[in-house]
Amino acid sequence: MRKPDANGIRPPQDVKGGDVRAFLESLTGPSRGNVIWLVDNALTVSVSENRALSLRLKDDNPPHDNDVAALQWAGDGYSITAFSGNKIWVNGRLVSSERLGHGDMIEFGEKGPMTRYRICNHLFPTHHTVEDILSDAYAYARSSRRPFAKRMSGALRDSGRRLASQTTILFRITVLAALFLIAGLVYLLYQNDQRLAESIDEESRKIEAVAVMLAQTREDALTPEDLNALRNAFENQIISTEQRLGTLEQRAGAPTRVITASTRSVAFIQGAYGLRHIESGKLLRHVLGPNGEKLQTPFGQPWIEPDGTGEPAEFQFTGTGFLLEGIPLIVTNRHVALPWTSADREKALKAAGLEAEMLNLLAYLPGEAEPIEATLVRYSETADLALLSVDANRVQGLGLPLSDAAPRAGEEVYLLGYPTGLKALIAQAGPGFLQTLEKEGTLNFWSIASRLSFEGKIQPLASRGIVARTSPGSVVYDAETTTGGSGGPALNRRGEVVAINAAILPEFGGSNIGVPVSGLVALLGEVEGQ
């Protein structure tokens, strides 16, 4: 066996199996973290001026000034006795002599150091259990007489150090693996939060896009409030905006020939488009409740999702178009044939990751009981114009001729169209028609138009105006119209199309802007060149 170490205690390497009785672990002071093995029967404990703890065999040397206590083996454990003039605390209690138990906290003197006493059950402890380490930290925090903040920081610091250095390799590997796992979970949670934030942002953009589309739909679709207003107008015999438009010959004595010859070629356009989610490729559909009802968002908008189980969400619109003479094509505005491209709608759709798709596009002609399906052929990149193809067999003998020259300022023009859409048509049909619809319960965007057509009540409204200005890109005139009249023909006295109505300028006394017929001729040239 090797000689005792500087403390007078045999090193653990020299201790034979069964010789180790207990140990002291310093928790504070310069000796913090050091373990002193207790092997011999009688030991003297010394504390230096810098609070370093040391032990030696009791009979090896004469007493020192720094000696504070004696440890004596008593069969199954050690007893500690304070030397005269020294103070010792065991588990926070001042004692002069005490039989030590496993786990006791010993504090030597007013300023420490503090140690933890453990019995080894005659086995050499190469590692400490987590329970022991945490128990030490708790006992230290509870029994130490140091300030609370220092007690807690010391307990946390020492328990962390001991967990990292005095536990088994397997435990440390397990802890590292757990830390890596926690770090991985934190990263996954962060990624999930990012995706959730992006999803919320995308959802908000989608809601914004849908709101923009619904704003236009509300202008064209019938609402219960619109029908109530029409009913009240009929009951009170009030002449509504739609009725005041009247036909041209009733209001201004315009040539009956032009109106009569042109009316059957002016189409009422009715359509609806949906929104497709680009990433999933799915159309947005209504989300249904448990009873099959269409649900709404907290903002009062329809709740529509790519994975909705209801019908595709429809964004409805109406407009005006006219047939070309000798060609089975309907002319209208680009913003009528592609309503999602006007204003800020296209930008809102792109930001929301959506694209519009036409679901249904119909053209109703005066005198025809059934609508004609229409398909977009081409639209102009520079002018507000679009061409729709229709069944040639359904439009034989119809169509308007085009003027060879632009109108001059001061010339009269006659504007045909369907301003305010279905509202004006119901107003023209009279109170009896509205009562029939209400009785049958067919107050539906599609069914109303179908019933109007079947009963021969689809007729364009006409108004007269004077050309104020003509330029290569526009014709400005004051013929009266409103929303829904876009795409209608502006005719000269010979019944030739001189412009295609495109926009209203209410700030200029109700003036309207039309696309010159030269723009239409250029677009037709593009189609022929295909």
> Which of 80-94, 178-192, 223-237 has the weakest average pLDDT?
223-237
Q: CB of 51 within 8 A of CB of 32?
A: no
CA dihedral sign, ordered 56, 57, 62, 68? positive
Tell the CATH topology of 12-167.
Tumour Suppressor Smad4 (2.60.200)
- Where in the sequence of the chain do the CATH 2.60.200.20 domains occur? 12-167
CB 265 within 8 A of CB 322: yes
**Residue 151: is its pLDDT beyond 60?**
yes
Parallel, antiparallel or unpaired: strands 304-305 and 386-389: unpaired
DSSP string, 25-84: EE-SSTTTT-EEEE-SSEEEEEE-TT--EEEEETTTS---TTEEEEEEE-SSSEEEEEPT
Is the entire prediction scored with pTM above 0.75? no
Task: Check: CB of residue 239 under 8 Å from CB of residue 453.
Answer: no
Residue for token digits 């488009």?
273
- What is the rounded average pLDDT of the residues 106-128? 77
Place of tokens 């809102």: 348
Q: Kindly state the helix (H) or strand (E) to which residue 199 belongs, with its residue range.
A: helix 169-220
Q: What is the pLDDT of residues 224-248, one digit of tens each?
A: 566 666 666 555 544 444 444 444 4
Check whether 176 has a pLDDT greater than 50.
yes
What are the φ/ψ torsions at residue 126 (nearest 5 degrees)?
Answer: -80, -25
**Range 426-434 average pLDDT:** 82
- Indicate where the chain has its CATH 2.40.10.120 domain(s): 221-269+315-334+359-528
Which range, of 19-28, 120-129, 285-294, averages the lowest pLDDT? Answer: 120-129
The fold of 221-269+315-334+359-528 is Thrombin, subunit H (2.40.10)
Q: Residue 270 contacts by C-beta under 8 Å, 6 or more apart in sequence?
A: 316, 317, 318, 361, 362, 363, 364, 371, 445, 446, 449
> In sequence order, which residues have a C-beta less than 8 Å from that of residue 175 and are 6 or more positions away?
163
In terms of average pLDDT, the best of 3-7, 12-16, 251-255 is: 251-255
Inter-helix orientation angle 431-440/224-235, to 10°: 140
Between 204 and 93, residue with greater pLDDT: 93
Candidates 191, 241, 212; CA nearest to 345 is: 212
What is the model's pLDDT at position 519?
93
Q: Which of 163-172, 420-429, 445-454, 496-505 has the lowest mean pLDDT?
A: 163-172
End-to-end CA distance of the chain: 106
Res 459: pLDDT: 92
CB 384, CB 504: distance < 8 Å: no
pLDDT of 76 strictly over 70: yes
Of residues 247 and 488, which shows the higher confidence score? 488
Q: Is the pLDDT of residue 16 over 50?
A: no
523 in Cβ contact with 380 (< 8 Å):
yes
Looking at residue 250, its pLDDT comes to 44
Name the band, by pLDDT with cuts 50, 70 and 90, for residue 218. Answer: low
- What confidence tens digit (pLDDT) does each residue in 44-74 have? 999 988 888 888 887 766 778 889 999 998 8
Largest Cα–Cα distance of the chain, in whole Å?
139
User: How high is the pLDDT of residue 209?
Assistant: 62
Rounded CA separation 160/443 (Å): 75
Task: Name the strands in the sheet holding 97-99, side by side, starting at the edge strand that comes first in the sequence.
Answer: 53-57, 42-47, 67-73, 78-82, 97-99
